[in-house]
């Protein structure tokens, strides 16, 4: 299990993940921050990146903000 800090950029042109020098991640998402769609897209892209199922990715802090803390089991 790991815990990572993520900064989300919603409504981006391209979906991608950048690892920052401090060990956190910046994730660009196509989804808008409405009705949890950006959170769903974040879980999907992180599950692919780390090779785990979507149920093993959990947002533990920052569900309504751009700065999030995510636990990956």
pLDDT value for 19: 98
In angstroms, what CA-CA distances link 19 with 7, 24, 35, 46? 10, 6, 27, 12
Residue appearing with tokens 């956190």: 24
Other beta carbons within 10 angstroms of residue 2's beta carbon come to 8
pLDDT of amino acid 59: 98
Give the pLDDT of residue 2: 97
- Element spanning 26, H or E: strand 25-28
pTM for the full predicted model: 0.95
Mean pLDDT, each 10-residue run in order, the chain (73 residues):
98 98 98 97 98 98 97 97
């Amino acid at each position: 299990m790991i815990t990572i800090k993520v900064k989300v950029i919603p409504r981006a042109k391209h979906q991608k993940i950048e690892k920052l020098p401090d060990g956190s991640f910046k994730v660009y998402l196509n989804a808008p921050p409405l009705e949890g769609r950006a959170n769903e897209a974040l879980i999907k892209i992180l599950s692919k990146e780390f090779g785990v199922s979507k149920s093993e990715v959990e947002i533990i802090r920052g569900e309504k903000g751009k700065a999030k803390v995510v636990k990956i089991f």
